[in-house]
Structure 1
Amino acid sequence: MLNYKNLKHSENEMPTWDGFLGPTLQVASMKEHWQIRELEHAVIKAVNLPENLVNLRYASKYHDLIAQNRVNFAISDLKISGLLNCPKRGHYEISDLGKQTLDKLGTDITAKYVHSLPMYIDYQNMRRQNKSDDKADNDIQSLELTKIQIHNWFDKQKENLSDALLTKLRETDPFVFEYMMIELMTKMDYKGADGKAFVTQKSNDGGIDGILNQDALGLRKIYVQVKRYAEDNTVGRQTISQFHGDLDLQGAGSGVFITTSSFTRSAEEAGKKFNIKLIDGETLTKLMIEYKVGVQVQDTFELLEIDDDFFK
C-alpha cells in the first residue's frame, strides 16, 4: 500500500511533483483509460494523503490545490517520456514502456530516470530547436496560456532548478561547500552589525563548521555543521547526537545542521529534542533560490493589466 510519508516530500510532508511519478504510473496501470481529473484524484487517494494536505492551496491569488497540481506535473512528464499515452486530449493510459518500467522499478521512479528516456530527451531537443526558429513564436501565440498555466510553469521550473542545484552542490568541494553555506546564512541576516560570520579552522573546530551572530552585538551565536553527502547517505540520530555534544562543549543551546541528503526519522526526533534546526537537501536548495545564493536571474517577465483607477 502506498503512503505519502514514504514519497519524496517537502518540509510539510506534501509529496513533491516527482514524488508522485511512481504512484501515478502505478495507478494508471489499474485500468485501461483515465480522464485526467479522475487520474489525479485516484493518485491522491492512493497515497493516503490526509485532508489537510489534499486541501492545501498555493498562497498566490489563484489558490490552486497544490497536490492536484503536482500530480498534473507528474502526468505531464510521464506522457512526454512515453510512459503514458495520450490517445486524445485529457485522456491517458499506461504505455508498454510504462508497464515495463513499473515491473522493473515499481514506484521508485525518479525525475532523473524519466528525464533520461529517449522520448523526453527528443522533446527537450525539439524545444531547444524551436527557440531558434520563427515557429516558436507562432506556437506560443496559439497556446492561449492562462495565468494559472503560467504560474504552474514557473513552479515547475523552480522544481527543476532545485534538482539541478542539489546535484551541483553534491559535486562541490566539501570545504568550498562550507563557505557557501555560511554565505547563505549571512544572506538570511544571521550576522551581527559588524558582519561577522566565519568558517572555523579544521584543526580546532570542535565539530563546528561555522559560527554566526544572531544579534547585532554578537551576544547570541549560532553554531553550524554542514555535511555534503550523496543522496543515499542519510544523516542518522547518532550524528545529530554528536553535534549536540559539540554544542554543549561550546555552551550553546541550539544549532543548525545542513546536509545535501536527508534525515532519518530518528534524526528528526533528535533535532527537535536538542533544539537543532535540520535543513535537508530539498529545503536547502529552496532557501538558496529564495535568497539567490548560487543562482542568478536569467530573465524577468512582467504581466500587465489595465489600471482602471487611472481612467476614473
Structure 2
Amino acid sequence: MTTAPVSSMPLWHGFLSPVLTVLSDGSVWKKRELQEAVFDHLGLTAEQRAEVLPSGQRRADNRIGWALSGLNRAELVSKPARAIFTITEAGRAIHASHPDGLDEKTLKSLPAYQDYVPAKTDTAAAIDADDPAATSAPLEQIEAGVTRLHADVAAELLKRLRDQHPDFLEQSVLDVLVAMGYGGAEQQAARIGGSGDGGVDGVIDQDPLGLDRIYVQAKRYAQGNTVHRPAIQEFVGALHGVGASRGVFITTSSFSQGALDYANSIGTRVILIDGSRLASLMIKYGVGVQRRKVFTVVEVDEDYFE
C-alpha cells in the first residue's frame, strides 16, 4: 500500500456514470466485482487502486462507495441483497439522458434523492471530506467529515426503516428507548402493535420498579406524509383508554405545526419524535449502526514542558 500524494483519479461523483455504464449490461453484480469493473472502465492504474486514506481504506473504494450510496438513494440502482447491485429502469433512463456524464448536482436534484437528503450544517456543507483542497483547519475537517457521515447514515436509516414492515419500526423504536435507559431495571419493553392494539404499539417501563409506564405509537410514513393533529388526538385517546398520562409518538416523516401545538397544549404528556430526530437517536445510542473507526486527536501537553 502507498500513501503517496493524491492522484488525478475522479472524485466520488466522477464514478456515478461509470457505475451505471457497467451495470447497464443488466447483470446482478457483487460489490467487489463491480468495483473492479468500474476501475477497469476508468482505466485506473495499479498505483491509483493502491492509494489509501489515513484510515487504511483504499481511496478508490471510498469514492465508489459514496457513488453507490448516492445512486442507491436516488433509486438509480437497487440492492436486492447485501453487497449486490443492479441498475433500475430509472437508472437506465437517467444514464441515457446524460451521455456526457451524470454530475453531483443532477443526482441530488432527483426527487428520489431529495426524499432522503440529510440536513447539513454550514461547515459540513462547505467541506468535501475527500477533497484534498479543503482549506479549513484540520480539526474542523474531521468534525465536518463526521457530521457529513452521520447525516448520510441518518438518511439511509430512514430509508431502511421505511422499506421495512411496520412491525420492524415498532420494535426499533422500543430498542432505541431501551438504549436510552428506559425499561426499568430489567429493561422491559413490549411491542403490542397489531389488530386490537387500541392505538398503542408498545409499552415500556419508565422507572426501575415498573410503577410508571410509557406508551408508544410508531408510524412508518414516507417523506412528505406529514402527521397531523387528528393522529395525535387519537393517540391521546388511546392513552386515556389504558389509564396512561404520558406517551411517545414516533414517525419516520414529520409533524405538522398543528400537531406540535396540540401536543404542547394538553395535560397529557406526549413527546413527538420525527424521522430526523429518530435517526439521530439511533446513531447516538448505537441502534441499527455499528462503529466503524475510532480516531484519536492529540495535542501537545503543555504541562509536560513546564
* SS of aligned partner of 1:304: coil
1:270 matched to 2:271: no
CA 1:160–1:111 in structure 2 vs 1: closer, same or farther (change >3 Å)?
A: farther
- Choose the corresponding residue for 1:227, options 219, 227, 246: 219
For 2:67, the equivalent position in structure 1 comes to none
1:258 matched to 2:258: no
Q: Which amino acid aligns with 1:300?
A: V
> Structure 2: where are the runs of 5+ without partners?
1-101, 118-127
Aligned residues: 191
CA 1:162–1:114 in structure 2 vs 1: closer, same or farther (change >3 Å)?
A: closer
* SS of aligned partner of 2:187: coil
CA 1:245–1:233 in structure 2 vs 1: closer, same or farther (change >3 Å)?
A: same
> Structure 1: where are the runs of 5+ without partners?
1-96, 102-107, 117-126, 128-135
* SS of aligned partner of 1:270: helix
Whole-Å separation in 2 of the counterparts to 1:199 and 1:113: 32
1:161 matched to 2:162: no
1:207 matched to 2:185: no
For 2:286, the equivalent position in structure 1 comes to 292
CA 1:250–1:215 in structure 2 vs 1: closer, same or farther (change >3 Å)?
A: same
For 2:40, the equivalent position in structure 1 comes to none
* Per-residue deviation, residues 135-189 of structure 1 (Å, max 9, x unmatched): x9xx859978521222222212211111111111111111111111111110011
Offset at 1:261? 0.5
Whole-Å separation in 2 of the counterparts to 1:202 and 1:193: 27
Normalised TM-score (structure 1): 0.55
Q: Which amino acid aligns with 1:308?
A: E
- Choose the corresponding residue for 1:195, options 187, 191, 201: 187
Normalised TM-score (structure 2): 0.56
Cα RMSD, aligned residues only:
3.4
For 2:141, the equivalent position in structure 1 comes to 149
Offset at 1:208? 0.9
* Per-residue deviation, residues 47-94 of structure 1 (Å, max 9, x unmatched): xxxxxxxxxxxxxxxxxxxxxxxxxxxxxxxxxxxxxxxxxxxxxxxx
Whole-Å separation in 1 of the counterparts to 2:150 and 2:140: 15
For 2:28, the equivalent position in structure 1 comes to none
Percent identity reads 39
* Per-residue deviation, residues 234-286 of structure 1 (Å, max 9, x unmatched): 11111000000000111111110000001111111111123210000001000
For 1:310, the equivalent position in structure 2 comes to 304
Q: Which amino acid aligns with 1:290?
A: K
For 1:174, the equivalent position in structure 2 comes to 166
Q: Which amino acid aligns with 1:283?
A: R
* SS of aligned partner of 1:222: strand
